[in-house]
A = this chain, B = another copy of it.
Amino acid sequence: MDFLTELKNRAALVDRALAQYMPPADAYPPLIHRAMRYSLFAGGKRLRPVLALAAAEAAGRNPEPVMPAACALELIHTYSLVHDDLPAMDNDDLRRGKPTNHRVFGEAAAILAGDALLTLAFGWLAGCAGSLPAERVARVIAEVAEAAGSAGLIGGQAVDTLSSSAEMDEKTLEYIHRHKTGALFRAAVRTGAILSGADEARLASLTAYAENLGLAFQITDDILDESGDPARMGKTAGSDQKNKKATYPALFGLERAAEKARRAADASVAALENFGAEAAFLRQLAQFVTGRDH
């Protein structure tokens, strides 16, 4: 099976689990549950859950018990997109080629649906204690809360939204990317590894893998935003530039940015040198990320 098919199969498993865990669209109050489901099932690539499951696999375990925790990371990712798109934040009308949550359900429902997705994530994480050691679950929840919090994902979003373009230098850009994307990639990999009982040495290698993967992913995302095909991307090419967003190509030019992405992908593969075939998928994913065209 080629890698893209494998990736899609794994994403489909995540989709099936999400559909199974989510409250139905007609659960009371229906507007909130419809709004939650709308953004969760809007065509995400499920990279964070796939990473968590693959990290469990790399730790030598069956990834199945990790599935609710893996899906929780997708809830957090989705909530952050719903809130980022709000008029007071990035004020985006389109996301993955569809109207953003607040354009469909209104601003109040979008705020509440985001809050509810975030809250539900911690419920799913806690629920893992039914089949996995509660100490590991508590450790993962503490780490995910930190990764998603004011010194992680939210911190990155805050600096991105609230910085003027004059303040944007390489250091600020790296902070944004390391926190907005990197923190949750890192938490996803660590979630899968910790819940699967990985020892601290393997955990450290997987963490280095995730940090470099996050960087490679984000730089490539920036490059695609400037040069990609808008029909495939689901947003207007150059929209980051329009919003005066910090990007790697803006700071370094396309070519040097692409070189940085390749180096980060290589570093993520190198971090797995002590792993065998159990990490094959993670290695392929790192190479795929920089070569992807959407």
List chain A positions with a Cβ less than 8 A from chain B.
Answer: 23, 27-29, 31-33, 36, 79, 83, 86, 88-89, 106-109, 111-116, 118-120, 122-123, 125-129, 133-135, 137-139, 141-142, 144-146, 148-151, 154-155, 157-159, 161-162, 175
| Inter-chain pairs besides A83-B111, A89-B111, 13 sampled, C-beta below 8 Å | A23-B151, A28-B155, A88-B111, A108-B158, A109-B158, A112-B154, A113-B150, A115-B154, A116-B154, A118-B119, A120-B145, A122-B145, A129-B135
**Contact for A161 among B108, B128, B134, CB less than 8 A:** B108
Q: Bound complex: CA of A4 vs CA of B146, how far in Å?
A: 37
Q: How far is the CB of A152 from chain B (nearest CB, A)?
A: 8
CB within 8 Å for A116 and B28 given contacts A125-B141, A161-B108: no
Interface of A is mostly: helix
- Tallying the copies of this chain within the complex gives 2
Contact partners of A122 in chain B: CB under 8 A: 122, 141, 144-145
Contact partners of A142 in chain B: CB under 8 A: 123, 126-127, 129
Q: Bound complex: CA of A141 vs CA of B72, how far in Å?
A: 14
Contact partners of A151 in chain B: CB under 8 A: 23, 27-28
Contact partners of A148 in chain B: CB under 8 A: 119
Q: Is the CB of A119 within 8 A of B154?
A: yes
CB within 8 Å for A126 and B138 given contacts A88-B108, A118-B115: yes
Q: Is the CB of A115 within 8 A of B83?
A: yes
